[in-house]
Amino acid sequence: MSLDEQIEVWTRRLNNTIVDSPRKVIVGFLVLTLVFAGGVGLVSTDTEATDSFTDGLEEQEALDAVNEEFEDPFKPESESTQLIHSGSNVLTKEALLRDLRVLEEVESRDNLRAASANGPATVIAQQIDPSADTAAEQRRAIESTSASRIEKIVRELSDNSRFTRTLATDFNPTSASASASITVISHDVPSGFSDSNLQEVQITIRSIASDQPGEITAFGSGVTNAETATVIGDSLTIVMPVVVLLLLLFLVIAYRDPIDLSLGLLSLLLTVIWTFGFLGFSGIPFSQQMITVPVLLLAVGVDFGIHIINRYREEAVAGYNATEAMREANNQLLIAFVIVTVTTVFGFGANVISDLTPIRNMGIASGIGIIFTFLIFGLFLPAAKLEVDRLREAYNVPEFNSAPISSEDSTLGKFLTFPAQASRYAPIAFVVVLLITGGMAAMYGSGVDTSFETEDFLPPEEQPAYVTGLPEPFAPSEYTVSETLNLLEDRFSTNQDQSVKLYVEGNFEESHALEALAAPNDDATGSLAVGDGGSARPTSIVTVIQSYAEQDQEFARLVARNDVNGNGIPDRNLDRIYDVLLASPAGDRAEQYLTPDRRSAQVEYAIDSEASQSEAATDARAFAEEFRYETTATGQIVVFDAVTGIIFNSSIQGLIIAMGLTGLFLIIAYAVLEDKPLLGIVNLFPILLAIAFLLGTMRYLGISLNALTGTILSISIGLGIAYSVHATHRFVDEYNAGADAYESIIITFSGTGGALLGSMLTTSLGTGALALAITPVLGDFGLLMAISVIYSFAFTIIALPPAVLLWERYQSVWSEVTLPTPM
């Protein structure tokens, strides 16, 4: 028995089991649903917007080392909270007292684990009373001091970097004013202190700060993670009802029968339960990217459901009874469902090759979910439909509308077959035009941008009116992270988007160490050449030494005695110089650029504000190679650029793998099942055009390949291939029945075309509902998915007819060729 005969026998046996024992199938699936339901409660939420993308990167490991090894009392650590105070002047006596009242309340609560606090109010209070260690003591010191005395102290502290780093860049010593300040609260946390514990602490501090008059807010990783989790919940609350309503609307139109509609919705519900149960049992967390998974599965499930019900109705109209109609329909569709499932798994699952964990998890979840979708819609739904129709007949429940969506004589059928009729006269010209236009679209789309930004995962500072105007329970929460980040970027000099860092490892007590740090700076190029004469503008232990030497004559003499070549950089006795520097008022500053063991240093470089992320990162990596010691380029720009590169590579690799595996599988499948391998290439032709035009559309709309849209190319293959597979499979059925290619394609689109149209409408509007999500990354993905589905349907209708007509012509020529008989 040949392989295709074995597959046909296996398919018929499986189909007979479904048709002859529907109740056993239904009970089995319901039992499995109860099992998977137990895993739904185990699903965890990943609230780290960008951290999960950067884990394991060399650049991120270097940045982690910088954050751990170099002390800066005012940088936001994972176990600290920032109090950000903004206003007309945050250095007035009353403004300083507001900060201290918040700190006093925080210190009074043991559960907030406050260990220390550093900010303008604490620095000024300790200038007044050096023994004032607690917030209460510092508040009393400020209260007992006149406003004029406080202004004088502010002016005296204007050269103190420990003080000025807490203030906005508009700090004016003359008027003793600044529009914003940062106070960092460090927390003394025990082992086992979790992210959720930190969220609770920071949310509580934010509540305390909001009770004070003025603009004071708490900020930190806990606040950001809490809002990210809220964004996931709010996006689901907004998107899923819209998806369900749109699905209901079009399923009502497609099914036109409340019982069939209920069966379709039940199957969709089982698909979601199985998939979420798998996430819970497997330990894969639910992140923002995962919001797309149920939407994608609903889209594929709707496609399967419409096809099985529509084909069943076609057979029933042809005169078969319920059992035989379902047997005939499922015999025809089961192989098509298998082909669609395998190709969709290739498309969705291609993302498992990504080096980025969230994208890889999304590929696993969507691939497994598609298999669940096939099992539920390919086995459970036919059995449930057959059993329900038997009960209908037994209890005389009327059918509301059992006609298929379209027919050859209907207006819709004629509309769907128009491209086939037009291409009949010049199929070669049609194919050539499609290839040329598709190639132009792909060439234009090859210039699409790639990006990775924190803002992609956060709600914008200003929400659109349709979001803010939603009533409860759909109204979103109040979000502050974007506003706070914008304030930090606008008013403080610690903007990581304008600098890169080099992490340098070596023995910095060697005589040449500081010279080695400074030597490359005169030869900087590209975005790092922002200093005088095209040199770099670094901040390092060298610049700290030079700056303090300008302020302290004794230290300047020490440096000069050990500066052999007279360039202001000491060349010997570096251990002595470090000891004196660290014991001086500049010691805090020095600790930001040199570790206590003198084995690691960081150098921070300003970059050209006009430079792109890619240009700055490339220049930083090239510059790192100029250093004598082992040097790694890092900083947010470099880390995010590394992720951007991985996203682009994953997108292209995923596309190639999905396209290659799909094409190979289709060729093998049609060769084994129908002895028509070239139909696999014909099947793939419309999807190639859809991908080309999708890329062109992305560039035209200014949508870049990011953490989520980077998966769109391979996912579009997985989701879009269903349209051409269903059409091609129906074409083969009609062609094998004796019709020629033209007649077969006309019958295909006048019948199956209606189901394709219904599936396209529900899928495009269902996935397009993601455009309503709160975060940009989800909105762009939803819009692109809707466009992708529309393109896949349109090119199936337009490009498949001339392709199959050319295929038939080739088949005819090939069959007339007589091979010579071997001698």
Q: Tens digits of per-residue pLDDT, 268-315?
A: 899 999 999 999 999 888 877 787 788 788 877 877 887 787 777 777
Give the pLDDT of residue 6: 66
What is the residue-wise DSSP string for 20-75? H-HHHHHHHHHHHHHHHHHHHTT--B---TTHHHHTT-HHHHHHHHHHHHS--TTS
Q: Which of 302-311, 731-740, 808-817 has the lowest mean pLDDT?
A: 808-817
What mean pLDDT do residues 243-260 have?
75
Instruction: Specify the higher pLDDT residue, 811 or 122.
Output: 122
What mean pLDDT do residues 555-566 have?
87
pLDDT band per the 50, 70, 90 thresholds, residue 466: low
Give the pLDDT of residue 691: 93
Which residues share a beta bridge with 632? 503
pLDDT band per the 50, 70, 90 thresholds, residue 498: low
The per-residue b/e assignment along 510-544, b for 16 or more CB within 10 angstroms, e otherwise, is beebbbbbbebbeebebbbbbeeeeebbbbbbbbb
pLDDT band per the 50, 70, 90 thresholds, residue 821: very low
Give the pLDDT of residue 750: 80
pLDDT band per the 50, 70, 90 thresholds, residue 48: low
Give the pLDDT of residue 307: 75
Which residues share a beta bridge with 117? 185
Give the pLDDT of residue 820: 46
Backbone angles phi, psi at 276, to 5 degrees: -70, -35
Give the pLDDT of residue 494: 47
The answer to whether 400 touches 256, Cβ cutoff 8 Å, is: yes
What mean pLDDT do residues 760-782 have?
78
pLDDT band per the 50, 70, 90 thresholds, residue 337: confident
Tens-digit pLDDT profile for residues 682-721? 989 999 999 999 999 999 998 888 777 888 888 888 888 8
Report the distance separating Cα 504 and Cα 521, nearest Å.
14
Indicate yes or no: pTM above 0.75. Answer: no
Q: What is the mean pLDDT of the chain?
A: 81
What mean pLDDT do residues 35-56 have?
78
Instruction: Specify the higher pLDDT residue, 719 or 410.
Output: 719
Taking 3-state DSSP, the helix, strand and coil percentages for the chain, each rounded to the nearest 5, stand at: 70, 5, 25
Give the pLDDT of residue 290: 81
Tens-digit pLDDT profile for residues 598-655? 899 998 888 876 777 788 888 888 888 888 889 888 887 888 888 888 888 888 888 8
Instruction: Specify the higher pLDDT residue, 298 or 794.
Output: 794
The answer to whether 769 touches 398, Cβ cutoff 8 Å, is: no
What mean pLDDT do residues 456-484 have?
70
Tens-digit pLDDT profile for residues 355-366? 778 888 888 998
Give the pLDDT of residue 606: 80
Report the distance separating Cα 326 and Cα 19, nearest Å.
7
Give the pLDDT of residue 30: 93
Instruction: Specify the higher pLDDT residue, 480 or 337.
Output: 337
- Given a cut of 70, whether residue 464 has pLDDT beyond it is no
Instruction: Specify the higher pLDDT residue, 190 or 735.
Output: 735
Q: Which of 158-172, 190-204, 475-489, 666-680 has the lowest mean pLDDT?
A: 475-489
Long-range contacts of 519-525 (CB under 8 A, 24+ apart): 519/628, 520/623, 520/626, 520/627, 523/626, 524/605, 524/623, 525/619, 525/622, 525/623
Both tokens assigned to 467: 């979001």
Give the pLDDT of residue 651: 84
Report the distance separating Cα 718 and Cα 16, nearest Å.
29
Both tokens assigned to 246: 């749109």
Give the pLDDT of residue 449: 85
Between CA 183 and CA 191, with CA 189 as vertex, the angle to 5 degrees is 155
3-state DSSP assignment of residue 215 = strand
3-state DSSP assignment of residue 461 = coil
Both tokens assigned to 694: 């999708």
What is the residue-wise DSSP string for 119-154? SHHHHHHHHH-TT--SHHHHHHHHHTS-HHHHHHHH
Give the pLDDT of residue 531: 67
Report the distance separating Cα 380 and Cα 376, nearest Å.
5
Give the pLDDT of residue 695: 92
Cα separations in angstroms, 744 against 177, 738, 796: 81, 9, 15
Instruction: Specify the higher pLDDT residue, 358 or 66.
Output: 358
Residue with tokens 């990943």: 46
Instruction: Specify the higher pLDDT residue, 297 or 48.
Output: 297
- Given a cut of 80, whether residue 113 has pLDDT beyond it is yes
What mean pLDDT do residues 168-173 have?
86
Report the distance separating Cα 634 and Cα 643, nearest Å.
12
Size of the chain in residues: 823
Report the distance separating Cα 140 and Cα 737, nearest Å.
95
Both tokens assigned to 804: 């199959």
Q: Which of 355-359, 467-471, 497-501 has the lowest mean pLDDT?
A: 467-471
Share of the chain above pLDDT 70, in %: 88
Report the distance separating Cα 212 and Cα 255, nearest Å.
59
At 120, which amino acid appears? P
Q: Which of 71-85, 228-242, 407-421, 560-574 has the lowest mean pLDDT?
A: 71-85
Give the pLDDT of residue 402: 57
pLDDT band per the 50, 70, 90 thresholds, residue 47: low
* CB-based contacts of 442, cutoff 8 Å, min separation 6: 691, 692, 695, 696
pLDDT band per the 50, 70, 90 thresholds, residue 470: low
